[in-house]
Amino acid sequence: MKIEFEVRAFGKVEVDGTEDAYNSTELMRVHNLPKDTTLAEMESILAALFNEAEGGYAHPEQCLGKITIRAKKDSGEVLYLG
């Protein structure tokens, strides 16, 4: 099944000649994972993306993640898209 991972990080950065400067990073990855994938396995993928997004900041002010599983109902059955 297709699972979408989104991560956004925001934080202050040092830029010569400015008093305050902020930067944001947004990552979006799609993984085709088996239906029996556990929440812990998805959390591990999300944690790796958090580390990647936060890499450019000494102290990120905010880091948010979202996991999306797309599905539809067809003839009374749930079908996962992707």
Rounded to 5 degrees, φ, ψ at 21 are -140, 140
8 A C-beta contact, residue 50 and residue 42 = no
Question: How far apart, in whole angstroms, are the C-alpha atoms of residue 57 and residue 68?
Answer: 26
What is the pTM (predicted TM-score) of this model?
A: 0.79
pLDDT in tens, the chain (82 residues): 899 999 999 888 888 899 888 888 999 999 999 989 999 999 999 999 999 998 877 778 899 999 999 899 999 999 888 7
8 A C-beta contact, residue 82 and residue 32 = yes
